[in-house]
Amino acid sequence: MKLIGYAGLMGLCLGATEVIAAPSAEEQALMQIENRLSEAFRTADLDYIKKTEDETYTLTNSRALVTRRADDIEEVTKRDPRYDEFRTHDMQARIYGDAGVVIGIVSLKGTSGGKPFDVDMRFTDTFVKRGGEWRIVAAQVTKIEK
């Protein structure tokens, strides 16, 4: 006898009639922050990046290296990499009190070290609400093989 977990059981029960609720206002707010943060990296808007990334922010990048907020600030200051496209899409957000998670895809095009790149990555970003403002505290990306 094969045991089916809760998620599998729900999938069997819901089948093709599954209804996905529209994002709440808070979930929409997180996805808007994602879009605005993407634009900030594309245009080198250091003020918005500093405002949105928590001081404790870490990114586990596509090579499994952990970088921090200071690394992002340095990259934006140097303008390397330089982004022609930095676009988040296909996102879903979930809120857990003063914490939120956004998953989606980020499409990146530009140059780094004088060499062009064009990549899509799946991301998971974790936010906390501090002083009434959402701040990103952790991120992880995985390259989508084309």
Per domain, the residue ranges of the chain are: 21-143
CATH 3.40.640.10 matches 21-143: no
Instruction: List CB contacts of 1: < 8 A, sequence separation 6 or more.
Output: none
Kindly report the CA angle at 108 between 107 and 111, in degrees rounded to 5?
Answer: 165
- pLDDT tens, residue order, the chain (146 aa): 344 454 454 444 445 455 567 899 999 999 999 999 999 999 999 999 999 999 999 999 999 999 999 999 999 999 999 999 999 999 999 999 999 999 999 999 999 999 999 999 999 999 999 999 999 999 999 999 97
Record the pTM: 0.84
